A and B are shown apart, each in its own frame.
Chain A
Amino acid sequence: GAVVSQHPSWVICKSGTSVKIECRSLDFQATTMFWYRQFPKQSLMLMATSNEGSKATYEQGVEKDKFLINHASLTLSTLTVTSAHPEDSSFYICSARRTRWAGGNTGELFFGEGSRLTVL
């Protein structure tokens, strides 16, 4: 099956610093990737849609200047949490939509392993 890799899998940082999380589709191209945030015992909430070669689309209530998204290639999207604060501590998960391939486009999304951010 298609593989999506996230790095780092966990990170601890001091308040006020910036943290970058990478999301890579390892064996397929993805023109669209999605970033989710999951608080403990809560559902995954979509933060933004990352589009290759263009600006990301943010969901209502998500600060675009705080959560910078870059989708510079067909296999890589990055999420940078700027000036992180303890309330940004969460589990961040990306997913990727496979661009058309010979097996047919089922609309299935493939998820990364997640990145746990702890801000002290």
Chain B
Amino acid sequence: KQEVTQIPAALSVPEGENLVLNCSFTDSAIYNLQWFRQDPGKGLTSLLLIQSSQREQTSGRLNASLDKSSGRSTLYIAASQPGDSATYLCAVRGSNYKLTFGKGTLLTVNP
């Protein structure tokens, strides 16, 4: 059974810092890995999707890497802003499009 772990559970940084969120998964047989953002009481916003054959994806200040063999992914956020404050979720896709989610990292960026 796939298990996804995200570290740290919470992170508080001053504005402007670069930061890294970590995600690990136990079964390396994945189709892709997706990073989401969730604001309080809201749904999910897809940030980046990395196919199993890819090593990284970039979108603006966000960069996600994937090391499938070691079961790890990182989300790098450059020059953090208060608007980046949210919970960041990592999810891996197995067979039949089922996603397994981590519990998320609660990020607070202080002005």
**Interface size bucket, B side?**
20 to 34
A91 to B41, CA, bound (A): 8
Among candidates A43, A49, A106, A110, residue contacting B51 with C-beta atoms closer than 8 Å: A106
Cβ contacts under 8 Å, B41 to chain A? 91, 114, 116
Distance in angstroms from B107 CB to nearest chain A CB is 15
Cβ contacts under 8 Å, A72 to chain B? none
Within A70-111, the residues touching B (CB, 8 Å) are 91, 93, 95, 97, 106-111
Among candidates B4, B34, B98, residue contacting A34 with C-beta atoms closer than 8 Å: B98
Cβ contacts under 8 Å, A95 to chain B? 44, 99
**Interchain CB contact under 8 A, A6 and B43:** yes
Among candidates A34, A41, A112, residue contacting B97 with C-beta atoms closer than 8 Å: A34
A113 contacts the other chain (CB 8 A): yes
The number of chain A residues with a CB under 8 A from chain B is 25
Distance in angstroms from A87 CB to nearest chain B CB is 20
Cβ contacts under 8 Å, B76 to chain A? none
Cβ contacts under 8 Å, B61 to chain A? none
B49 contacts the other chain (CB 8 A): yes
Give the interface SS of chain A, mostly helix, strand, loop or mixed.
Answer: strand
A106 to B51, CA, bound (A): 8
Cβ contacts under 8 Å, B100 to chain A? 46
**Interchain CB contact under 8 A, A111 and B51:** no
Within B20-57, the residues touching A (CB, 8 Å) are 31-32, 34, 36, 41-46, 49, 51
Distance in angstroms from A37 CB to nearest chain B CB is 11
Cβ contacts under 8 Å, A25 to chain B? none
**Interchain CB contact under 8 A, B49 and A106:** yes
Q: Which 3 residue pairs spanning A and B have beta carbons closest together?
A: A113-B43, A111-B44, A114-B43
Which residues of A pack against B, CB within 8 Å?
A: 1, 6, 32, 34, 41-46, 49, 91, 93, 95, 97, 106-114, 116
| A-B CB contact pairs (8 Å), 21 listed | A1-B46, A32-B97, A34-B97, A43-B89, A43-B101, A43-B104, A44-B89, A44-B91, A44-B99, A46-B100, A49-B97, A107-B32, A107-B51, A107-B93, A108-B49, A109-B34, A109-B46, A111-B36, A111-B45, A114-B41, A116-B41
